[in-house]
Amino acid sequence: MAGLLVLGAGYLGAKLAEIALAAGREVTLADNWYATDRDQVAELERSGARVVTADIRDRRALDRLLDSEPERVYLLAAQASRPLSESDPDYTEETNLTGARRVAEAVVEAGGPALVYASSLQVYGPGLRGTVDPDRPYGRQGDLAHLSKVYAELCLELYAHRHGFDLALLRLGIVYGPSPVEHARPESQTVVDKFRRLAADGEPLPLDDGGRATIGLVHVEDAAAIVLAAPSSTGVSRANVAAETVTVADVAALARGDRPEGRPAWSVASDFEYRHSVAGYFAGP
Ligand SMILES: NC(=O)c1ccc[n+]([C@@H]2O[C@H](COP(=O)([O-])OP(=O)(O)OC[C@H]3O[C@@H](n4cnc5c(N)ncnc54)[C@H](O)[C@@H]3O)[C@@H](O)[C@H]2O)c1
């Protein structure tokens, strides 16, 4: 069976690799170690993953990876942090824009294995109301890390249409829960795990604007399983990957063991099955 090429051995890529290896799949994990240390994937390597140092901005490195004729390519490598997109806009653009385009070119050159791209619910912009399905137009963007998702989606779609490879654009909510790769840097931690840690330490939970913002959430095990199984159809497909929407104030209430108010401003349309909920995560060990 042809293997899986995971570009980006970070938080999501490592969990995806773990699940794929457990299912007996052959996995190559490639990363330039910008946000992840190579040591963090040593256990996955011992479990059978092929770990390669490669930069998605480097077309020749991509071609070498695709020489092994993977069945699917997962583009999870990105400069995903908003604060880092402000301190290093050039790197953010080079990786998220040029890098994404070069991945599409390398996929075409390799004869078009299916490509799966980890995008974000943030493409819909702020001020959402109602049920947000994947036909909702793109909205205003507040930083380069998320703006680049819009470009990468459209660029990958352009190449997929022009050259006829299957492409899944998966718009993920905020991902939480344990993964073989977790980042210690505060700017890389998402609200669920940050609140879980602060609540466990008896610290106050900081709420911007009273925590009124509504966010989409997905446990990393659910997210990785959904990404791994994509694409589920031929051609270009778009889907939301979030089990639920909650307000940040509700995440804080659940972290403290209080009852959430349960009034998110919008809800997410997503056809996948989810095993985890944020309430269950906070109630668990
Ligand atoms: N984690 C979330 O909450 C979340 C939510 C929505 C969307 N996403 C998207 O999912 C994808 C994966 O997210 P993640 O949480 O695993 O992020 P992550 O930062 O843990 O992983 C990204 C990996 O890409 C690597 N990388 C950066 N630049 C590179 C380059 N030029 N070449 C090769 N590798 C490079 C980093 O070293 C890192 O290991 C990202 O595109 C992210 O925007 C994540």
pLDDT of residue 283: 87
Q: Residue whose CA is closest, atom 11 of ligand 1? A: 76
**Dist. CA 134–CA 154, nearest whole Å:** 14
Would you place residue 208 in the very low, low, confident or very high pLDDT band (cuts 50, 70, 90)?
confident
Ligand 1, closest atom to CA 33?
Answer: 37
pLDDT of residue 98: 98
pLDDT at 249 over 60: yes
| Residues 274, 222 share a domain | no
Round to the nearest angstrom and report the end-to-end CA distance of the chain: 38
**Dist. CA 257–CA 19, nearest whole Å:** 30
- DSSP secondary structure string, 236-258? EEEEEE-SEEEEHHHHHHHHHTP
pLDDT of residue 190: 86
The CATH number covering residue 253 comes to: 3.90.25
Cβ neighbours of residue 220 closer than 8 Å, sequence gap 6 or more = 11, 12, 15, 175, 176, 177, 178, 179
Give the three-class secondary structure for 172. strand
**Dist. CA 3–CA 200, nearest whole Å:** 40
Domain that holds residue 276: 178-217+244-283
pLDDT at 187 over 80: no
What's the gap in Å between 10 CA and the centre of ligand 1? 6
pLDDT of residue 186: 73
Residue 230, Ramachandran bin (φ over 0: left; ψ between -120 and 50: alpha; else beta): beta
Residues 85-92 have a mean pLDDT of 96
What's the gap in Å between 259 CA and the centre of ligand 1? 33
What's the gap in Å between 54 CA and the centre of ligand 1? 14
| Residues 198, 119 share a domain | no
Residues 93-104 have a mean pLDDT of 98
Q: Residue whose CA is closest, atom 21 of ligand 1? A: 10
Would you place residue 189 in the very low, low, confident or very high pLDDT band (cuts 50, 70, 90)?
confident
Q: How is residue 63 written in tokens?
A: 């071609």
What is the pLDDT of the chain when averaged over all its residues?
A: 95
| Residues 188, 134 share a domain | no
Would you place residue 1 in the very low, low, confident or very high pLDDT band (cuts 50, 70, 90)?
very low
| Residues 200, 169 share a domain | no
**Dist. CA 235–CA 161, nearest whole Å:** 8
pLDDT of residue 256: 92
**Dist. CA 27–CA 1, nearest whole Å:** 11
| Residues 274, 160 share a domain | no
pLDDT at 185 over 90: no
Domain count, the chain: 2
| Residues 201, 133 share a domain | no
Q: pLDDT tens for residues 112-123?
A: 999 999 999 999
Residue 24, Ramachandran bin (φ over 0: left; ψ between -120 and 50: alpha; else beta): left
What's the gap in Å between 6 CA and the centre of ligand 1? 11
> Pocket around ligand 1: residues whose beta carbon is below 6 Å from it?
8-13, 31-36, 55-57, 76-80, 95, 99, 118, 120, 172, 174-175, 183, 190
Instruction: Please give the DSSP secondary-structure letter assigned to residue 233.
Output: S
| Residues 198, 134 share a domain | no
Would you place residue 144 in the very low, low, confident or very high pLDDT band (cuts 50, 70, 90)?
very high
Question: 275, 243 in Cβ contact below 8 A?
Answer: no
Residues 53-75 have a mean pLDDT of 97
**Dist. CA 50–CA 44, nearest whole Å:** 9
Ligand 1, closest atom to CA 190?
Answer: 3
What's the gap in Å between 8 CA and the centre of ligand 1? 6
| Residues 254, 156 share a domain | no
| Residues 209, 256 share a domain | yes
Residues 90-111 have a mean pLDDT of 98
